[in-house]
Amino acid sequence: MPKPIILASTSDIRQQLLRNAGVIFDAVPARIDEAAIKQSMLAEQATPRDIADALAEFKARKIATKHPGAVVIGCDQVLDLNGTVLSKAPSPDVAKQQLQALSGQKHQLLSAVVVYEDAKPVWRHMNVVQMHMRTLSDDYIDQYLTRNWDSVRNCVGAYKLEEEGARLFSRVQGDYFSVLGLPLLDLLSYLTLKGMLDS
């Protein structure tokens, strides 16, 4: 009998991606202090890649210790703008500043996933997507945030590529699912290979 699968997240889009792919799972929030972990790692000059991986692992580990018989999936996403890590904007004003900084620039989205089984890490993966944002006028940024703030307030970079956020970009190089926050195809391949999903 396959072990139960738990997604250590309450992210609607990650749940939707797994559900759409026919994965049966439970979603359990991993309540970790992401900001404190990120600040501590930045103080130690950790790379954006290390931060994304560590946050995904913290989430998976926390839930795996409470559900040792399950397969636990932890995910996180970090935005890297020329070595600077951007976090979720706490207000429209901060979101505007972030979009002004991203405007006309290329940045990276690092999407990490860590899988725990029997309360031990058994697999990890990182996808990096290159995001080329077109040059945005301040007026457009204001209008965009007025229309979309409720939707993007919990999104790093203040955009959702699956919504109006697509209009912010001239080019995206990499895996679409990873932009949404989950390296879905790689994860499905691993779960299938290990017999956790039908093949």
Quick check: is 198 in a domain? Answer: no
Task: Answer whether residue 14 is part of any domain.
Answer: yes
Q: Residue 31: what pLDDT?
A: 87
Q: Please report whether residue 60 resides in a domain.
A: yes
Tell me whether residue 95 is in a domain. yes
Whether 199 shows a pLDDT value over 80: the answer reads: no
pLDDT digits (tens, 9 = 90+) for 95-141: 999 999 999 999 999 999 999 999 999 999 999 999 999 999 999 99
pLDDT average, residue stretch 16-35 = 94
Is 157:102 a contact under the CB 8 Å cutoff? yes
Please name the residues in contact with 171: beta carbons below 8 A apart, sequence gap of 6 or more: 130, 132
Question: What is the span of the domain harbouring residue 124?
Answer: 5-193
- Return the structure tokens found at 10: 């309450």
What single letter denotes the amino acid at residue 146? T
CATH code assigned at 128: 3.90.950.10
49 in a domain, yes or no?
Answer: yes
- Residue 177 domain-assigned (yes or no): yes
Identify the pLDDT of residue 47.
94
Q: What is the number of structural domains in the chain? A: 1
Per-residue pLDDT of 42-85, as tens digits, reads: 999 999 999 999 999 999 999 999 999 999 999 999 999 999 99
pLDDT category of residue 35 using cuts at 50, 70 and 90: confident
Instruction: Report, as residue numbers or ranges, the catalytic residues.
Output: 76
Find the mean pLDDT for residues 152-180: 95
Q: Is the pLDDT of residue 1 over 80?
A: no
Residue 199 domain-assigned?
no
% of residues, the chain, pLDDT over 90: 89
Percent pLDDT > 70 in the chain is 99
Q: By C-alpha distance, which of 3, 49, 43 is closest to 26?
A: 3
CA distance 174 to 77: 14
Query: Two tokens at 39?
Result: 């600040």
Q: Looking at the chain, list the stretches that DSSP marks H as alpha helix, in order from N- to C-terminal side.
A: 12-20, 34-43, 48-66, 92-102, 138-152, 176-179, 184-193
- Is 52 inside any structural domain? yes
